[in-house]
Homo-oligomer: A and B are copies of this chain.
Amino acid sequence: MKYAFSKRVRHLQSSAVRDILKVVNQGNVISFAGGLPDEELFPIAGLQAAFEKTFASGKKALQYAETEGYLPLRDVLIERMKRKGITSYSANDVLVTTGSQQAIDLFSKVVFNPGDVILAENPTYLAALQVFESYEAHVIGVESDEHGMIPEDLEEKVKRYRPKCIYVVPTFSNPTGKVWSMERRQQLLALAQKYHVIVFEDDPYGDIQFNKDEEYAPIASLDKKGTHVLYTSTFSKTAVPALRTGWITGPYQIIRLMSQAKQANDLHSNSLAQQALYHLCMDYDLDGHIQMLIREYDARMKLMLGELEKANLPGMSYVVPKGGMFFWIELDESVDTTDMLATAVERGVAYVPGSPFYVGKGKENTLRLNFTHSTPEKIEKGMKLLTEVLQENRQEIITP
């Protein structure tokens, strides 16, 4: 039988992220590809205790629950966001989602008609682009430098395209690892307010900040009336990914519709996990755990940085990450990282080619390296393998 599908499926494809997970699962390859935290650092004892407490709380913990999410957890999230200066919202304005990925999906579902425009950094989070495209929204890239979107280009494109939304990952972005300056955050919000556009602030990495003294206020914290910014984050990087628990907060009008859309999507997210995460926040020193993660990931980043400095390849450039999980590397223009991947994996090291992260045609001479999932030993070994592959690749280009 021949099946008839929706027009939407044209935009569906097995993504790089999926292929990454397959590489990672293939034994001997040292992978800098996936955006994975290190499972060896998971707070497994704390989490197990939190599950035990949830089971001990009675059978009702296992019944159907509210679409919006477990209320005590939403209260905790409000308190945690307040510490970041996000003060415009109450638990009613929070929707618990199946990872922050679902927050992007539900937002898109209630906001985009086919042909609607969304502005995004370029490059940006690949799986967000895939969601926007699955709703037939039209994504336009905005020029950026190491401080964030260029305000002039942003304003010009807001005026030209009248977008419904500006999507940003301003703090330790995926894939670039960059962090926006305070000035650019304020400029973005001012433009959003001037032209009545919603800012969708995706902040999965904000807690993994290496330098305590610097301050990166979420854009949502600057929006004192709580009218122009939706803010989403997740427990996947700070606790564990398997529980698939993220959340989104913002203007109630939008959150309420997203909640109704979620009801049709899946009724509610796993509520046992939500209750366990509530107990984890209450009984376990999650902040101390995050400090440990920061120390460990900072050390791994510096180790990778040292290897990059040693390699010192002509034409290579990168910004030293101030947090998060990624290095974003630009190579000599002659390099094609997609072509090079098979050789690298053969040699025992994996990365993600940078081009799929771009809106439209991407730079083929870019790649993303994750420094959180591999042990220090594997980072050293893997970076040596990668440097060899890069050097050989250069020589082949120079002497064909």
Contact = CB atoms under 8 A, between A and B. Distances in A.
A51 interface: yes
A267 B127 contact: yes
B105 A264 contact: yes
Interface stretch (A32-40, A87-95, A287-295, A392-400): A32-40
Interface in A79-123: 97-99, 101-102, 105, 109-113, 116
Contact of A241 (B37, B51, B62, B265): B62
A376 interface: no
A263 interface: yes
A220 B269 CA distance: 28
A86 B278 CA distance: 40
Contacts of A7: 113
10 contacts: A5-B257, A6-B110, A7-B113, A8-B261, A39-B59, A62-B240, A62-B241, A99-B267, A101-B267, A243-B272
A21 interface: yes
Nearest to A48: B55
A270 B260 CA distance: 21
A102 B257 contact: no
Contact of A59 (B3, B42, B98): B42
B48 A63 contact: no
Most chain B Cβ neighbours within 10 Å, of A36, A112, A241: A241
Contacts of A1: 196, 227-228, 251
